[in-house]
Structure 1
Amino acid sequence: MNFLTSRQQDILAFIESRIMAHGVAPTLREISEHFGFSSTASAQKHVNLLVRKGFLERDKHQKRGLTVVEEVSVTPAVTLDLVGVVAAGSPIENFGEREEVTVPPDMVGQGDHFVLQVQGLSMIDDGIHDGDRIVVKQAVEARTGETVVALIDGEEATLKRFYPEPDGNIRLQGANPEILPIVMPASRVVIQGILVGLLRKY
């Protein structure tokens, strides 16, 4: 599924308007100046992304050989709040200053969602690395084995797999054999949400 950030949509619209007005695409320098980029490298990055996503085609035989692919449908991106840091190791205090993060629309279903940045390595065997950002669906209940953001004692948040125990305790289990599980009474654990997506910068 193709989607564009608001900036990518603006750049695509600018390129299309310049082609319609002048018959040729704008240069990287013109794109940079129009959007206030500090260098043409930023414009080049956005153009390359638009080509890779199929919204632009490049003619290597022409200096300004960019054309807009009309038949590609744009799926609007979804913007969520990055609300803080969650530990994938020892629990730490959660929620700081908010910023907005663009996520693929197919990662978000019904209900409210938010983004957290992962700190720690206890979920490494599930492919969740230190510094990754996760998309979380707000929820107060979870099924056994689901990966949840759990609030402990009303103060600390952690990312773990959720396992109710027969004795009434909750086991919050990581995905790293070197990290011990957290086991405590259910009254001390409040589920904040369920993991539904992973974002990683390469």
Structure 2
Amino acid sequence: MLTAKQHELIRFIQQRLEDTGISPSFEEMKEALDLKSKSGVHRLISALEERGFIRRLPNRARALEVVKLPEDAVTGASSSAPKMPAANDAVIAARAAKAVAPDPANDVIDVPLHGRIAAGAPIEAIEGQTSMPVPAALLGPGDHYALEVSGDSMVEAGIFDGDFALVRRTDTARDGEIVVALVDNEEATLKYLRREDGYIRLDPANGAYEPQVYESRRVQVQGKLAGLLRRYH
């Protein structure tokens, strides 16, 4: 069951694809749905993607496909609204054939920036909040936040001091994934996660550092690494 805004958004995307063959920009979707920010659009798109209604084409900033429509997409609409045919594989293929090249990746999302995180010894809990613009193409489905990396313990994974880690918010992760781990509800760190015999091992990606081992109850996963932003001076 979709929310009213999710229903409205998928119908808007479908109509734009029917009219032009190109999915709308985040700005156009924000204005069409009368939302206050593009982050609200991102959340709606992520929810529709997770439910299998839309699909994003990789490496293209404005490429959305409507995989299916909600059952009430026509019957629940007003009589003045244009009817929208169900999106099947043939329709999707036809749209892809007539679509022109997308605009440059200029859609951005305001992502909460929760201070700094250690890529070395744990240093501080996540606190404070501002926001930073992030290209929408870097973010997949889900709720995200950003953290500034401090330290060099993850350099062999390509994560350097001063980078901004883009984190998908979750409290679960598989072994071998890079996570934001909160230790003793006080200290946050970015490490590879490993589990062994009731303990959590937080592994660095730098031979100069030793793994950190804690009882499982002392470690809380707060997110998984989804991407990186780097400033060049």
TM tier relative to shorter chain = 0.5 to 0.7
Instruction: Judge conservation of contact 2:125–2:185 (CA < 8 Å) in 1.
Output: no
Counterpart residue number, 1:198 = 228
Alignment of 1:95-110 (within 5 A): 95-110=126-141
CA distance in 1, matches of 2:159, 2:192: 12
Identity of aligned residues (%): 45
2:120 to 89, 93, 110: 89
1:5 Cα deviation from its structure 2 partner: 11
In the alignment, is residue 131 of structure 1 matched against residue 162 of structure 2?
yes
Task: Report the AA paired with residue 228 of structure 2.
Answer: L
Counterpart in 1 of 2:208? 178
Alignment of 1:60-75 (within 5 A): 73=103
CA distance in 1, matches of 2:166, 2:218: 24
Question: How far off is 1:89 after superposition?
Answer: 0.3
Asked if 1:154 is matched to 2:185, the reply is yes
The alpha-carbon deviation at position 84 of structure 1 amounts to 1.0
Q: Give 5+ residue unaligned stretches, structure 1.
A: 7-70
Q: Secondary structure at the match of 1:164?
A: strand
CA contact (8 A) 1:91 1:157 kept: yes
TM-score, length of structure 2 as denominator length:
0.54
Which of 1 and 2 has greater Rg?
1
For the 8 Å contact 1:5–1:102, the answer to whether it is kept is: no
Tell me which stretches of 4 or more aligned residues in structure 1 moved more than 6 Å. none
Amino acid at match of 2:151: G
Shift of the 101–184 alpha-carbon distance from structure 1 to 2, 3 Å rule, reads same
TM-score using structure 1 length? 0.62
Do structure 1's residue 119 and structure 2's residue 150 form an aligned pair? yes
Cα separation, 2, equivalents of 1:170 and 1:133: 25
Distance change in 2, residues 1:168/1:114 (3 Å): same
CA contact (8 A) 1:138 1:192 kept: yes
- Distance in 1 separating the partners of 2:157 and 2:107: 29
Q: Which has the larger strand fraction?
A: 1
Whether the aligned pair in 1 keeps the contact of 2:170 and 2:223 (CA below 8 Å) is yes
Number of corresponding residues:
136
Residues 87 and 118, structure 1, Cα contact 8 Å, conserved in 2: yes
CA distance in 2, matches of 1:195, 1:185: 22
For residue 102 of structure 1, report the CA deviation from its aligned partner: 1.1
Q: Does 1:164 align with 2:195?
A: yes
| Paired position in structure 2 for 1:187 | 217
Q: 1:103-150: per-residue Cα shift (whole Å, max 9, x none)?
A: 121221222100000000000111111111010001111011000000
1:76 Cα deviation from its structure 2 partner: 2.2
Q: What is the CA distance between 1:72 and its match in structure 2? A: 5.6
Q: Which amino acid aligns with 1:73?
A: D
